[in-house]
Amino acid sequence: APRWNGEPLEGKTLFVWGEQGHGDVMQFVRFVPLIAERVKREGGKLIYCCFGNLLPLLKRSLGGVADTIIAHDHRPLPVFDYHLPLCSLPLTLGVTLQDLPLRSGYLKADPDKVRAWRERLPDDGKLKVGLVWSGSRTHQRNSRRSVKPAEIAKAFGGIRGVEFFSLQVGADGEVEQAGQAGLRLIDHTEEFATYDDTAAFIENLDLVITVCTSVAHLAAGLGVPT
């Protein structure tokens, strides 16, 4: 199907798909309600396609604005007349910095999961801070954005009145290295099966400090100071 360039959508179906990485999707999904409003106004239908591990979070956050939301591995694909990559929405819709929609708080965590974590985490009056020090290990430029655990420990070790939580999935060894360097990290990441789980945990934090990776967009999209 051809790329959509603003053609009339009456009786047509537009397929918006999330290319690039998870962070890009969470940053640009705020524009889906804008395109959904236009499609509906013109009498068309909207299908939004996203990564499977983001599906529960984005279905809840978008609140049914799209006619259909599917995972990227859904086969066969539904029939559509036009397609548009998600990150092209601002250009196609003519969005500028002056009318940038939903600067924060447009992602919605599962309230039951949020409550469950709230009951488990200590209520001791300390500031709860989540840390991420690396992006995807397979990213070709990850070495330029990742920080060594020892450097994290040097920056934050010894600060009183703060509990630090690891948001770095699959980093048991690095959590241990940070501890040996003087920074105690509480690590629940083995319970994070999808971004929905991570989102619910982040909702219980006061602050997230992260390198440039998907968690930055997730936390800020939730409205958590980042």
pLDDT in tens, 166-206: 999 988 899 999 999 999 999 999 999 999 999 999 999 99
On the question of pLDDT at 138 being above 80, the answer is no
* Angstrom distance (rounded) from CA 137 to CA 32: 29
pLDDT over 70 percentage in the chain? 98
Per-residue pLDDT, 211: 92
Buried residues in 181-216 as b, exposed as e (16+ CB within 10 A): eebebebebeebeebbbbbbbbbbbeebbbbebbbb
Confidence of residue 122 (pLDDT cuts 50, 70, 90): confident
Structure tokens at 192: 């994070």
Per-residue pLDDT, 170: 87
Structure tokens at 222: 């939730």
Is residue 169 classed as helix, strand or coil in its secondary structure? coil
pLDDT tens-digit map of 18-58:
888 899 999 999 999 999 999 999 999 999 999 999 999 99
Structure tokens at 47: 């299908």
Predicted TM-score (pTM) of the model is: 0.91
On the question of pLDDT at 137 being above 80, the answer is no
User: In the predicted model, what is the mean pLDDT of the chain?
Assistant: 93
Write the single-letter amino acid at 59.
Answer: K
Query: Once rounded to an integer, what is the mean pLDDT over residues 103-113?
Result: 91
On the question of pLDDT at 139 being above 80, the answer is no
Whose CA is closest to 212, among 18, 23, 19?
23
